[in-house]
Amino acid sequence: MKKAPLLLAANWKMNLGPKAAAAFFKEFLAAYSVRHDRQVLFFPPSLSIDAIKNLTGGRPDISLGVQNIYWEESGAFTGELSASMVKETVAQYVLVGHSERRHIFGETNEECAKKCAAAEKESLTPILCVGETLEQRESGETERVVLDQLKSGLELLEDPASTVKAIAYEPVWAIGTGKTATAEDAEAIHGSIREALRGTIGESAAEISILYGGSVKPDNARQLLDQPNVDGLLVGGASLDPNSWLSICNA
Ligand code: PGA
């Protein structure tokens, strides 16, 4: 038996501005009933949070998060948002080190660690994203890269056992490409992540949700969720359409 609830997270990336986000939310929530075995998280563009916050109807199974933060509290950092600003909204989660942040915007493990620590300081829940590139996978470095990102990303946390509630494994070569890791490949690396977490925080590692991301679709979601160490999904493309997201949330 798997521990509940599953975490199903929609990463909208730079899609669905305030109007489109509100329309999505109305359509999705009208069709999706509360299920006690799962929690649904949305990572809209930060500008859309205000437009959807009143549409959740106070449902306990729906939470919101932001896709990125900066680690400083305030100041001359044009274009950035701080954890304390996020804390003033209804968002409770922060994605840290998504592969697009790492590979398009050049974020390093050290920067991810500072962002996780900034989230912790404001009692937000960081979801650290880790994953190898195709080149790294082909040269047999998957586990080393992933565990290194994990260890460095959590390094500055004061209380990792309380702060870390979820980690996302997203192989870079599977994101937005239509290629998914097989359920067995995902399970293997999720198992290694769990072991590494056990080394850092002990037995409470069993309670951390390890999410898989990378070309998740309605037709592969169930198989991935059936793996013992896959506790949820982080979904990009397929979370942008209310119907496909609904199928994934009901998988
Ligand atoms: P994808 O994106 O589902 O479109 O592959 C996943 C992610 O980047 O979080």
- CA 108 from chain center: how many Å? 18
Answer yes or no: is the C-beta of 41 below 6 A from any ligand 1 atom.
no
Contact 213, 224 (CB under 8 A): no
Residues 6+ apart with CB under 8 A from 26: 55
Contact 49, 91 (CB under 8 A): yes
> Which residues carry out catalysis?
98, 170
pLDDT, residue 166, reads: 98
**213 alpha carbon to ligand 1 midpoint, in Å?**
6
Q: Does position 232 have pLDDT exceeding 50, yes or no?
A: yes
First to last CA, the chain: 16
Instruction: Give distance in angstroms: CA of 25 to centre of ligand 1.
Output: 19
Beta strands in 36-96 (DSSP E): 38-43, 62-66, 93-96
- The pLDDT of residue 1 is 43
Largest CA distance in the chain: 50
**Distance from C-alpha of 239 to C-alpha of 236, rounded to nearest angstrom:** 6
Residues 130-161 pLDDT 10s: 999 999 999 999 999 999 999 999 999 999 99
In short, whether 239's Cβ falls inside 6 Å of ligand 1 is no
Ligand 1 lined by 67 (C-beta under 6 Å): no
Residue 226 has pLDDT above 80, yes or no: yes
Mean pLDDT across the chain: 95
pLDDT at 233 over 90: yes
- In angstroms, the CA 32 to CA 136 distance is 39
For residue 127, report the distance from its CA to the centre of ligand 1, in Å: 14
Show the DSSP H helices in the chain as ranges: 18-31, 49-53, 83-87, 99-103, 109-121, 134-138, 142-154, 160-163, 183-201, 218-225, 242-249
Whole-angstrom Cα distance, residue 176 to residue 121?
32
The reported pTM is 0.96
How many residues are present in the chain?
251
